Amino acid sequence: MLIDVLRLKKSYTSGAIINDVLKGIEMKLDKGEIGVILGPSGSGKSTLMNIIGGIDRGDSGRVIVDGVEINNLNDEQLTDYRREQIGFVFQFYNLVPNLTVGENIEVVSNISKSPLNIDEVLTAVGMHDKKHRFPRELSGGEQQRVSIARAIVRNPKLLLCDEPTGALDYQTSRSILKLLQQVNKKYGTTILMITHNAAIAAMANRIFKLRSGEIVEAAVNQVTVPAERIEW
Ligand SMILES: Nc1ncnc2c1ncn2[C@@H]1O[C@H](COP(=O)(O)OP(=O)(O)OP(=O)(O)O)[C@@H](O)[C@H]1O
Ligand SMILES: [Mg+2]
């Protein structure tokens, strides 16, 4: 088991109003699997992912990632966990505009304990020939490839993707999904991905449907579909 979430709860309070965002989440994902979280806007998807990734903390319950109970870590330990074990990919690519593609990867690789080779990672995401370009000289899909390279150069155990294709057109989305599937195979990286697109669930080993802070359905796909065959 790579991810084991038990009775996870999280609320936000503003004034007298309490918003119960996660109401006792239970979810498991095995090592090497791809998991997809589906659910309407505001159902708690990003909150759940951010807690698993150590960006945020739950109020109660347990979150165990690769045997480490991260809810028990202090702030410094949680930062180390996030740096060493987790790669993040977001809808917007957050590349540093005045650094080249190669330099964007290098700044992350430099602070990692056992990074992958930068050229290998850029080749894996199909961006090696654009190593010396700046982000503004790239399309959205290319920028997302670079942000995936940046996330995997640390060789994380877990890649967390929050709507990675949310800003991309159909064909580009499919090529990014294919790339994520390739990363999963090549490096054995466990992937947890949030999407609004139910069709994407076909490429996942496990699907979690979230509604108002509760998992209303957890399904297992015995047969997963290659990303290039997914249509919507
Ligand atoms: N830092 C915060 N402070 C207060 N409320 C928050 C905070 N972050 C999230 N929320 C609230 O928690 C709920 C769930 O938010 P979350 O971002 O997890 O939803 P989501 O499922 O990712 O939605 P979307 O699909 O729109 O990204 C929302 O009601 C949101 O307003
Ligand atoms: Mg979200």
Residues 85-127 pLDDT 10s? 999 999 999 999 999 999 999 999 998 888 999 999 999 999 9
Mean pLDDT of 184-211: 96
Residue 64 has pLDDT above 90, yes or no: yes
Number of structural domains (the chain) is 1
What percent of the chain has a predicted confidence (pLDDT) above 90? 97
Any domain includes 106: no
| Ligand 1, atom 9: closest residue by C-alpha | 47
Please count the other Cβ atoms lying within 10 Å of the Cβ belonging to residue 206.
21
- 45 within ligand 1 shell (Cβ under 6 A): yes
Distance CA 188, CA 155 (A): 10
- Which atom of ligand 1 is nearest the CA belonging to 14? 4
Residue 117 Cα to ligand 2 middle (Å): 31
Please indicate, yes or no, if residue 124 is contained in any of the structural domains: no
Measured from the CA of 196, which atom of ligand 1 is nearest? 25
Q: Where are the alpha helices (DSSP H) in 94-187?
A: 101-109, 118-124, 140-152, 170-187
Cβ of 188 less than 6 Å from ligand 1: no
Domain assignment of residue 195, yes or no: yes
Strand 214-220: give its sheet, edge to edge.
86-90, 158-162, 190-195, 34-38, 206-211, 214-220
Which of 20, 36, 45, 57 has the most ligand 1 atoms within 8 A of CB, as the residue to mutate? Answer: 45
Q: Is the pTM of this model over 0.75?
A: yes
Q: Residue 211 has what DSSP assignment?
A: E
Candidates 205, 203, 231; CA nearest to 219 is 205
The answer to whether residue 141 sits within a structural domain is no
Report the CATH number at residue 215: 3.40.50.300
Residue 68 region by backbone torsions, left for phi larger than 0, else alpha for psi between -120 and 50, else beta: beta
Q: Which residue has a Cα nearest atom 31 of ligand 1?
A: 42
Specify the pLDDT at position 113. Answer: 87
Instruction: For residue 186, tell me if it sits in a domain.
Output: yes
Residues 147-181 pLDDT 10s: 999 999 999 999 999 999 999 999 999 999 999 99
The closest ligand to the CA of 57 turns out to be 1
Domain residues for the domain of 165 are 3-100+156-229
Q: Is residue 89 part of a domain?
A: yes
Is residue 82 domain-resident? yes
